[in-house]
Amino acid sequence: MKERGLMIDKKLLDEHNLTEEEYRLIVDLIGKQPNLTELGIFSLMWSEHCSYKSSRIHLKQLPVSGDHVIQGPGENAGIIDIGDGLAAVFKIESHNHPSFIEPYQGAATGVGGILRDIFTMGARPIALLDSLRFGPLSNPKNRSIMEGVVSGIAGYGNSIGVPTVGGETYFHDCYSLNPLVNVFCLGIAEKDKIFYAKAEGSGNPVLYVGSKTGRDGIHGATMASAEFRDDLEEKRPNVQVGDPFKEKLLLEACLEAMEKDLIIGIQDMGAAGLTCSSSEMASNSGTGIEIDLDLVPQREEGMTPYEIMLSESQERMLLVASKDKVEEVQKIFTKWDLDAVVIGKVTSDNRLKVNFQGELVVDIPVDPIVNLCPAYRRESEAPAYIRSKSKLPSLQVPEDHNQVLNTLLAAENFADKEWIYRQYDHMVQINTIQLPGTDAAVLRIKDTNKALAVSLDGNSLYTYLEPKTGSKIAVAECCRNLACVGAYPLGVTNCLNFGNPEKPEIMWQFKEVVEGMSQACRAFNIPVTGGNVSFYNETDGAAIYPTPVLGIVGMIDDIHKTTTPGFKQPGDIIILLGENSDEIGASLYLKYIHGLESGPVPQIDLLKELAVQEACRQAIDEGLLESAHDVSDGGLAFCLMECCLLSKEQTGCSLELRDDLASHVLLFGEAQSRIVITVKPDKVERIEAIAQIKKIKTSVLGKTGGNKFIVKHHGKEVIHYSINQGFNIWKKSIPSQFKLT
Amino acid sequence: MKFGVVVFPGSNCDHDTYYVLKEVINQETLFLWHKEHSLKGVDCIVLPGGFAYGDYLRSGAIAKFSPLMQEVKAFALSGGLVLGICNGFQVLLELGLLPGAMLRNKNLKFLCQYVHLRVEKKDTPFTKKAAIGQVLRIPIAHFEGNYYTDQQTIDRLKTNQQIVFRYSEPDGRLTDQANVNGSLENIAGLINKEGNVLGMMPHPERASEALLGSCDGRIIFESIIEHLKTV
């Protein structure tokens, strides 16, 4: 090779995002100076994205085990036993950096990647959800990013036929130069037909299936492990291009080969492509892999081994089958018009060996590539703002709360998101029981009487102001959303979006968030089965707010025992489960009405929270509820407003409140552990009995009816608002930002 | 009755349609792989929704070259029942079994939502259990459902009474607002002159179970069964 005598200097190492110490360690571990391809392999596998080198130490504290856990963190996705011989397979992943550079393809390939993570384990994907963060829509650049991201998600998910059933979208300045696209996927597998990334049996053939390899996406994983500066345009070639049609074929072909038990092990080629799949499969099985790059299907000419090994071309898989099954595997892939080529074999020498034009161009032990990247305990220090933003200045309280409602309903964080979700096919596969726009997505499991519920949640204002508390609340709120549809949580996947971990303040945020999450997951007794850490969400040195996003999967044992947030009919009694308290800090009311982002963040008592959720679930289970909706952003007033807006007939309500709190705090404060329910009058007594058993407070707030939202506080009318007016503001806010609605 | 659901590479409502016909309506149903040449003796062919061949070219433009389409065309021309749903409707247009073409939706976005359809014609094998003027609530999910054709063809469609469904308000009024994708004459479903080939953009298979929010789509499948009983 020409590269013999390669000079490995600081510049070359910088280009590969490796430090000099890391390089020395690599030389030590492999016992030689790496050539350029080998260096490229390490740069990918030792990148933050693949190695979790800054986060690993902290993530260890998360609870990962439980009775129903079939697979915890470390595989392509987490797996939970859901009974009836079935398993739920789910995971969330970020695709933030690519989505900023090229919104459509960035988001589309994010969807493609997470789908492969699910079906590579033998599961058919049944639902997608997205957690999106953009800068304010008043800025045209943010509008164009959002349009691109939403159509990218739609373009991929709609075509492949997996419904995008829900998620969340938030807007904040901190995401203007660093939008977040976190994609969640849920699949269902037969419990005894789960597949892993294994390369077992020395001599077994290694097959390459799916799309051909091109030069796209080279160094995607390394890109995701560095901050952006002003070289954004130059990075565009690093973004992969998605082909949902190819992926649909790959999905069907893989599932067919799995159904016929023809595969020993399989791994998708996602981040770090052929490098990651081959070395991880070998490492997982204590074997080695030898491949010949001349056999790799290529769609460009003159590709070097470096490029082939590092390419992140989409819609590709690596699989291992026994010799006598190869022909049958190939027959299936041919039926689906896909390549399935034997490119190498499993070996017993624990090495990754790569041949190219008759020459051995890579020869390194597998273990250092996959397992021996150093883990860092990076310095951490509380940022200065934490203290200054923990106290609230005195406020000029507005007289007219109706005006406040006008403002909040139009604010993009509160406004209706139908403009987004109606671009997604959310019904294909005919399992979607609850349409998007409610607390949680609910999907029936065909041929059973059960349903799965999924909620995605994260409030980055809380986690910015008080990372640990904010993180606990994220877990609590996600579970509360599930409780509102009658589901109990089974497992958690998380996507942790942060700035540069080499900065002590960012590392501190991360540590606090993981600690809070760990405490909350333990309190609720739900295992974390996997997830993703996305660091370096910074552009020009400005970091996003710490944004942990939780994806929690829950179970509804009886499909008919669920409820929705909208009011159902006039004359129902409105009851609050939980209690109001004197907390207005960190609320969106403060942000939109007073221009303030300041704590204190609402406090959360995890045991009390659990009791409120249990009471709600029990009430749904006993068939007592007409509706249930959790109180979160915008407080009690906004929660009730949403119950009116989401009711089919725009049913209003009138309330009499007697709490000894300032009206604005009572209406818009975001005190935790509260759920608003409605029941028929004869069910009130039973609700109170359940509350007593669960030792939680409840209060009757008022009743449904009319076409107004009316609130009296200590006898004085503080809100008198037309539902129809609110509906128009709420519905039109986001579409009005775009030319074509 | 025996239903055949055609599977193109990229079909994604094939399993849904199969499930509804087999498990909900309890009919014998089988998949027909696009590369095959036999219709396996089915009484009614359904071309399901999805993105046949990815629809990177014009929707349905490549699917029409699938080997099985020769048989489907012959089956249709000899009077066999063919129902095209969404992408299936687009394939029927490309095959020339129905006139016209689909443009992108008027807002240039994919649209997934419930719509209301007014039944315009009752004496068809697909709507015989419905009443004229009856309004059905059925979802759509497409990017290219904006029906277009020339004036002559529209006149002919009207004269021959080939318009089966129109997008309407819940009370049956035909408005621009109800016409979400911008179709000419609010057209949501068309039948051929002979009355045995129906194409419709909305998805009746998504509205066939109470659990999912509407059963209005069943009327189409049940009409087919009723019709086949009398043949």
Residue A293 near residue A208 (C-beta atoms within 8 A): no
- Strands B44-47, B81-85: pairing is parallel
Neighbour-count burial of A662, counting CB atoms closer than 10 A to its CB (0-12 exposed, 13-18 middle, 19+ buried): middle
| Closest CA of chain B from A170, distance in Å | 21
Residues of B in contact with A159 (CB under 8 A): 10, 12, 51, 54-55
Which site among B15, B109, B114, B140 would you substitute to test the A interface, given the most A Cβ atoms closer than 10 Å to its Cβ? B109
Residues of B in contact with A248 (CB under 8 A): 9-10, 12, 51, 54
Can you give the pLDDT at residue A228? 63
- Residue A2 reports pLDDT greater than 50: no
Closest CA to A296 of A281, A272, A316: A316
Distances (CA, A) of B151 to A403, B3, B106, B148, B155: 51, 35, 19, 9, 6
CB-CB neighbours of A387 under 10 Å: 10
- Residue B157 reports pLDDT greater than 60: yes
B109–A446 CB contact, under 8 Å: no
Residue B195 near residue B81 (C-beta atoms within 8 A): no
**Distance (Å, whole) CA A510 – CA A544:** 12
Nearest CA in chain B to A148: B109
Residue B189's identity, in one-letter code, is G
Nearest CA in chain A to B48: A428
Which entry of A58, A95, A629, A664 is annotated as an active-site residue? Answer: A95
Averaged pLDDT, A369-380: 95
Structure tokens at A211: 């799309």
Residue B227 near residue A448 (C-beta atoms within 8 A): no
Residue A186's identity, in one-letter code, is L
Nearest CA in chain B to A436: B113
Round the average pLDDT of chain B to a whole number and report it: 97
Cis status of the peptide bond prior to B125, with omega within 30 of 0: no
**Distance (Å, whole) CA A184 – CA A94:** 9
Can you give the pLDDT at residue A230? 58
- Residues ≥6 apart with Cβ < 8 Å to A634: A408, A414, A587, A588, A589, A641, A668, A670
B28-73 pLDDT, tens digit per residue, is 999 999 999 999 999 999 999 999 999 998 899 999 999 999 999 9
Whether A158 has its CB under 8 Å from any CB of chain B: the answer is: yes
Averaged pLDDT, B71-86: 97
B141–A428 CB contact, under 8 Å: yes
CB-CB neighbours of A158 under 10 Å: 27
Considering only CB atoms, B141 lies closest to which of A335, A425, A433, namely A425
Averaged pLDDT, B210-218: 97
* Residue spans of alpha helices (H) in B60-189: 68-77, 87-95, 151-159
A284-324 pLDDT, tens digit per residue, is 999 999 999 999 999 999 999 999 999 989 999 999 999 99
| Closest CA of chain B from A564, distance in Å | 13
Closest CA to A575 of A650, A667, A657: A657
A161–B19 CB contact, under 8 Å: no
Structure tokens at B224: 């087919």
A161–B50 CB contact, under 8 Å: yes
B51–A158 CB contact, under 8 Å: yes
Closest CA to A253 of A346, A204, A304, A316: A316
Considering only CB atoms, B107 lies closest to which of A158, A246, A741, namely A741
Round the average pLDDT of chain A to a whole number and report it: 94
pTM: 0.96
Helices A326-335 and A244-259 pack at an angle, to 10 degrees, of 140
- Residue A4 reports pLDDT greater than 70: no
- Strands B2-7, B28-33: pairing is parallel
**Distance (Å, whole) CA B115 – CA B126:** 19
Can you give the pLDDT at residue A200? 95
Nearest CA in chain A to B180: A741
A245–B203 CB contact, under 8 Å: no
A320 beta partners = A206, A265
Edge-to-edge, what's the strand order for the sheet holding A625-630?
A625-630, A675-679, A573-577, A698-704, A653-657, A708-713, A716-722
Can you give the pLDDT at residue A394? 86
Considering only CB atoms, A428 lies closest to which of B13, B108, B113, namely B13
| Closest CA of chain A from B138, distance in Å | 11
Considering only CB atoms, B16 lies closest to which of A426, A428, A435, namely A428
Q: What percent of chain A has pLDDT over 70?
A: 96
- Residue B96 reports pLDDT greater than 50: yes
Nearest CA in chain A to B141: A425
Can you give the pLDDT at residue A3? 53
Residues of A in contact with B107 (CB under 8 A): 740-741
Whether A424 has its CB under 8 Å from any CB of chain B: the answer is: yes
Which residues of B are known to be catalytic? 86, 203, 205
A150-204 pLDDT, tens digit per residue, is 999 999 999 999 999 999 999 999 999 999 999 999 999 999 999 999 999 999 9
Residues of B in contact with A435 (CB under 8 A): 213
Whether A49 is catalytic is: yes
Whether A450 has its CB under 8 Å from any CB of chain B: the answer is: no
Residues of B in contact with A426 (CB under 8 A): 112
Can you give the pLDDT at residue A215? 86
**Distance (Å, whole) CA A473 – CA A291:** 48
Considering only CB atoms, A427 lies closest to which of B35, B110, B206, namely B206
Interface residues from chain B to A (CB-CB < 8 Å): 9-10, 12-13, 15-16, 19-20, 35, 49-51, 53-56, 107-113, 139, 141, 143, 203, 205-206, 209, 211-213
Tell me the three state secondary structure of residue A725. Answer: helix
Q: How far is CA A532 from the centre of its chain?
A: 8
- Strands A625-630, A675-679: pairing is antiparallel
**Distance (Å, whole) CA A509 – CA A382:** 7
Residue A608's identity, in one-letter code, is K
Averaged pLDDT, A18-28: 96
CB-CB neighbours of A723 under 10 Å: 22
The band of A271, judged by pLDDT with boundaries at 50, 70 and 90, is: confident
The band of A232, judged by pLDDT with boundaries at 50, 70 and 90, is: low
Can you give the pLDDT at residue A739? 79
Whether A422 has its CB under 8 Å from any CB of chain B: the answer is: yes
The band of A554, judged by pLDDT with boundaries at 50, 70 and 90, is: very high
**Distance (Å, whole) CA B229 – CA B144:** 35
Can you give the pLDDT at residue A222? 62
B212–A433 CB contact, under 8 Å: yes
Which stretch of DSSP H or E encloses residue A703?
Answer: strand A698-704
Which entry of A49, A219, A629, A664 is annotated as an active-site residue? Answer: A49
| Closest CA of chain A from B188, distance in Å | 18
Residue A485 near residue A453 (C-beta atoms within 8 A): yes
Averaged pLDDT, A127-149: 97
ipTM score of complex: 0.97
Tell me the three state secondary structure of residue A154. Answer: helix
Nearest CA in chain A to B56: A245
CA A458-A462-A466 angle, 5° bins: 125
| Closest CA of chain B from A59, distance in Å | 38
Whether A248 has its CB under 8 Å from any CB of chain B: the answer is: yes
- Residues ≥6 apart with Cβ < 8 Å to B2: B27, B28, B29, B30, B40, B41, B42, B43, B44
Can you give the pLDDT at residue A1? 39
Residues of B in contact with A735 (CB under 8 A): none
**Distance (Å, whole) CA A39 – CA A28:** 13
**Distance (Å, whole) CA A581 – CA B168:** 48
Averaged pLDDT, A52-66: 95
- Residue B108 reports pLDDT greater than 50: yes
Q: How far is CA A233 from the centre of its chain?
A: 27
Considering only CB atoms, A432 lies closest to which of B110, B143, B212, namely B212
Residue A529 near residue A491 (C-beta atoms within 8 A): yes
State whether the Cα torsion A656-A659-A663-A665 is positive or negative: negative
Residues of B in contact with A245 (CB under 8 A): 9-10, 51, 53-56
Taking each continuous run of H as one helix and of E as one strand, the counts in chain B are 5, 11
A699 beta partners = A576
Which site among B17, B35, B110 would you substitute to test the A interface, given the most A Cβ atoms closer than 10 Å to its Cβ? B110
